[in-house]
Structure 1
Amino acid sequence: MGRFLAFFLVFVTISGFAQDDIENTSISAIVVNAQTDVRMESVHVVNLNQVSGTITNERGEFSITAAVNDTLYLSFLGFKPQKIRVTNDMFKFEDTKIALTELAYALEEVIVRPYQLTGYLEIDIKNLPINNAYQYSISGLSVAYEGGNKNPSAVTKVLGAILNPADLLRNLFGKKPAQMRKLRQMKEDEEIRNLLASKFDREILTEFLQLEKIDIQDILNNCNYSKSFIVTANDLQILDAISTCYEEYKVLNRK
């Protein structure tokens, strides 16, 4: 009886380790075009649960750390983003195929309105739009970009907002502590940073942080970032701006 019990305990322990290995290892799969079955290169793949990312190689293959029930988010320009729930079968079979469906985009009409210049410097200067934005830097990058107002009034606005119980920042930041904690993880992951630096659609940010695009705009507006920055910045710059705003919110909120 004692030998049987010892054998049983060893078996359970080994099984437990094996299960942990299945749940905490990398999986491999292939991404293809749903219409043509052609393998797709440079598809962005992120694990929304573990805050990690990668891209497919020239054969459409990718490998990423994941656990059972994690959610993978795949995106590629011109294709519908796809969410995939990780299953045990994905660890057992390396030839799993994930198909992305192509989208049809219609270009909107763009009207260009040139400045009406008179040739008189004093008059033309008054008619030109004023850019109140300041240069903003990302840690680890040598190039600065246009960001929010860095003068003392910006801090005053944030402080005044936090003291208001109904303020949007409190509603968004205070109700999503888990998602906000992902901000630092996203900034520290080199693959995620590289991925976000090439994107402008805010899709991955909304998935990671569980926010709507309008929420991101409202956060940056309340943190005194200019409209031009909110519209033109890439996703990495937006991530850095939200992270800075959140850190200031936490400091001021404690006070």
Structure 2
Amino acid sequence: MRKFITYCFVLTGLSAFGQDNSETVEAKKLNALVINAQSDFPLESVHVINLNKVIGTITNEKGEFSITASANDTLYLSYLGFKTQKIRVTNDMLKFKNTKIALTEMAYALEEVIVTPYELTGFLEIDVKNIPINEGYQYSISGLEKGYEAGSKNPSAVTKVLGAILNPADMLRNLFGKEVKQMKKLRLMKQDDQIRDLLASKFDRELLTELLHLEKVDIEDILTNCNYSRSFIATANDLQILDAVSGCYEDFKVLNRGK
């Protein structure tokens, strides 16, 4: 009987311990201030992204921000002209409101730029003929909202498009380890206006790799297999890249519905 009572006591203690642990990771409002590391002046309109919860916000005119976070979440801070910074959230940061985060300005070395003007004649009919033409045709598929690039026009183009859609979706599953959470992140990123605004201003794929846990080369491989042109992959902003990767996977689900 004593052993049974002791056993129940231990189980009760473990249950209480588990509850205490769950409280420490409970989501709370984190309030902090972002400043310039050189001048200590507050920075307005700094993008702050919680990489774990896939939500974002920006600092106000006083450099202040408030965001939902739990202990050990990672915050990603980005501001034009400053080095991006990742901060691990601590219990003290959640408890107190006087946390200051300093961003460091970036030093840019300007390189020589050579501008080559177009050789225009002034006659529209002649100048139009000298404009480079994109020879990549696009094909639409019933059930899908957008068209796909498929190179030169030939009988195998449609087959090439279908293969391109089916192939990278399997690649996405393998890269994400077949985890549903990673698939949900794509949708959450597209729904958050602050994240979309930040991605629209970036071209370095840095935030995408952080949020999706992918390497830059993996993102390029997905888009290449999905038949996006090298020009698009090289020049598109991060929001366009996100929409392309997400669209590729969503199209895969449409084509494989019911299988």
Taking structure 2 as the reference length, what is the TM-score of the superposition?
0.73
Matched to 1:83, the amino acid is: K
Partner in structure 1 of residue 133 of structure 2: 130
Equivalent residue in structure 2 for 1:210, among 213, 228, 232: 213
More displaced stretch, 33-42 vs 57-66? 33-42
1:184 aligns with 2:179: no
Matched to 2:222, the amino acid is: I
Counterparts of residues 141-152 of structure 1 (less than 5 Å)? 149=149
1:49 aligns with 2:52: yes
Change (3 A) 1:196 1:153: farther
**2:49 partner SS:** strand
1:175 aligns with 2:175: yes
Partner in structure 1 of residue 61 of structure 2: 58
Residue deviations 1:166-195 (CA, integer Å, cap 9, x gap): x66644542214434310111122222233
Matched to 1:59, the amino acid is: K
Preserved CA contact (<8 Å) 1:158 1:249: no
CA–CA distance in structure 1, aligned partners of residues 191 and 23 of structure 2: 25
Change (3 A) 1:48 1:245: same
Change (3 A) 1:93 1:59: same
1:197 aligns with 2:200: yes
Preserved CA contact (<8 Å) 1:147 1:225: no
CA–CA distance in structure 1, aligned partners of residues 147 and 39 of structure 2: 42
Matched to 2:216, the amino acid is: K
CA–CA distance in structure 2, aligned partners of residues 66 and 198 of structure 1: 24
1:246 aligns with 2:245: no
Change (3 A) 1:31 1:119: closer
- Name the % identity: 67
1:23 aligns with 2:52: no
* Cα shift at 1:18: 10
Tell me, which stretches of 5 or more residues in structure 2 are unaligned? 1-7, 139-145
Change (3 A) 1:34 1:218: same
Partner in structure 2 of residue 140 of structure 1: none
* Cα shift at 1:155: 5.7
Paired positions, count: 236
CA–CA distance in structure 2, aligned partners of residues 18 and 215 of structure 1: 36
Q: CA RMSD in A?
A: 3.8
1:233 aligns with 2:236: yes
More displaced stretch, 150-159 vs 205-214? 150-159
**2:149 partner SS:** coil
* Cα shift at 1:24: 1.1
1:37 aligns with 2:17: no
Change (3 A) 1:133 1:51: farther
* Cα shift at 1:87: 0.9
CA–CA distance in structure 1, aligned partners of residues 137 and 208 of structure 2: 24
Change (3 A) 1:92 1:120: closer
CA–CA distance in structure 2, aligned partners of residues 197 and 147 of structure 1: 22
Preserved CA contact (<8 Å) 2:76 2:85: yes
Preserved CA contact (<8 Å) 1:22 1:91: no
More displaced stretch, 85-94 vs 224-233? 224-233
**2:41 partner SS:** coil
More displaced stretch, 101-110 vs 68-77? 101-110
Matched to 2:27, the amino acid is: N
Counterparts of residues 46-125 of structure 1 (less than 5 Å)? 46-117=49-120
CA–CA distance in structure 2, aligned partners of residues 156 and 247 of structure 1: 19
CA–CA distance in structure 1, aligned partners of residues 163 and 21 of structure 2: 54
More displaced stretch, 229-238 vs 148-157? 148-157
CA–CA distance in structure 1, aligned partners of residues 32 and 220 of structure 2: 35
Change (3 A) 1:154 1:210: farther
Change (3 A) 1:89 1:200: same
CA–CA distance in structure 2, aligned partners of residues 68 and 159 of structure 1: 44
Matched to 1:24, the amino acid is: A
